[in-house]
């Protein structure tokens, strides 16, 4: 097959995934999709933190993260946070989200490489890393929707969980009050995340020629383990 440019692979991820998977396996480039994810996540963090009412935001964060604090401790935490600028908090969010993306994609690629080693299918770490990153591109749609939502509406008193209009929580107008951590995470998922997960499943099945059931078990396995741990730790 002829070599495709990175921009052609971008188009094929959305329009012709099987062609994209073949191109990614033949030439596992990661720079374009990885930069797109990091820059867009960072943009959401910076724009949101410079749009939200900072004292209100910090109060909400303290309420959710530290319900067992005394009133004096809450006031001290709020006073400390008042000295931080929105730009600094936005940069902190951008850096932390970038580090998380890099770690998460690498751990997933390492996991698939371990499975490949056990199965003997010969697919290398760099190829799996490229597949994970490229299959994450649909998430950009949710991030772009979040940016438009922040810029088009008054985000001064908008919770972080409300910035993505494509999340199931917002699409279904769900009331998350009283929900546990696992339910809140699941309700925060959006259509673009499901799309990315489906692409990864199809890509794994295509590369390994596995059955759909085996591919689903391997691709969804880490998520099941993570949600199980969250339920145990927060239960």
Q: What is the pLDDT of residue 56?
A: 86
- Residues 92 and 69: their CA atoms lie apart, in Å, by 24
The answer to whether position 68 is within a domain reads: yes
What is the distance, to the nearest Å, from the Cα of residue 187 to the centroid of all Cα atoms in its chain?
14
Contacts 24+ apart (CB under 8 A), 118-123: 119/208, 121/207, 121/208, 123/25, 123/207, 123/208
The answer to whether position 108 is within a domain reads: yes
Tell me the torsion sign for CA atoms 98, 228, 196, 22. positive
Domain count along the chain: 1
Contact between 125 and 113 under an 8 Å Cβ cutoff? The reply is yes
Q: What are phi and psi of 157, to 5 degrees?
A: -120, 40
Report pTM: 0.87
The answer to whether position 182 is within a domain reads: no
Q: Containing domain of residue 160, as a range?
A: 6-165
The answer to whether position 202 is within a domain reads: no
Q: What is the pLDDT of residue 136?
A: 96
Contact between 105 and 136 under an 8 Å Cβ cutoff? The reply is yes
Sequence-ordered list of residues with C-beta below 8 angstroms from that of 116, at least 6 positions apart, any chain? 122, 123, 124, 128, 208
User: Each residue's pLDDT tens digit in the chain (235 positions)?
Assistant: 456 788 999 999 999 999 999 999 999 999 999 999 999 999 999 999 999 988 888 877 777 666 566 667 677 766 776 677 888 889 999 999 999 999 999 999 999 999 999 999 889 999 999 999 999 999 999 999 999 999 999 888 888 888 998 888 887 776 666 566 666 666 677 889 999 999 999 999 999 999 999 999 999 998 888 877 777 776 5
């Amino acid at each position: 097959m002829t070599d495709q440019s990175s921009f052609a692979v971008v188009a094929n991820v959305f329009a012709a995934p099987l062609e994209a998977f073949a191109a990614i396996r033949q030439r596992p480039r990661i720079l374009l999709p990885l930069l797109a994810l990091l820059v867009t996540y960072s943009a959401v963090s910076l724009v949101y933190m410079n749009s939200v009412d900072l004292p209100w935001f910090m109060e909400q964060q303290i309420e959710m993260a530290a319900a067992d604090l005394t009133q004096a401790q809450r006031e001290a935490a709020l006073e400390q946070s008042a000295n931080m600028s929105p730009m600094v908090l936005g940069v902190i969010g951008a850096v932390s989200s970038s580090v998380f993306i890099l770690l998460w994609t690498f751990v997933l690629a390492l996991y698939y490489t371990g499975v490949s080693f056990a199965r003997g299918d010969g697919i290398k770490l760099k190829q799996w890393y490229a597949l994970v990153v490229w299959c994450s591109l649909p998430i950009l749609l949710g991030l772009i929707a979040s940016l438009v939502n922040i810029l088009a509406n008054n985000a001064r008193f908008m919770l972080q969980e409300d910035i993505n209009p494509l999340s199931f929580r917002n699409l279904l107008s769900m009331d998350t009050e009283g929900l546990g951590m696992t339910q809140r995470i699941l309700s925060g998922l959006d259509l673009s995340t499901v799309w990315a997960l489906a692409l990864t499943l199809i890509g794994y099945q295509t590369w390994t020629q596995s059955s759909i059931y085996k591919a689903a078990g391997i691709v969804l396995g880490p998520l099941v383990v993570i949600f199980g741990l969250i339920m145990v730790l927060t239960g």
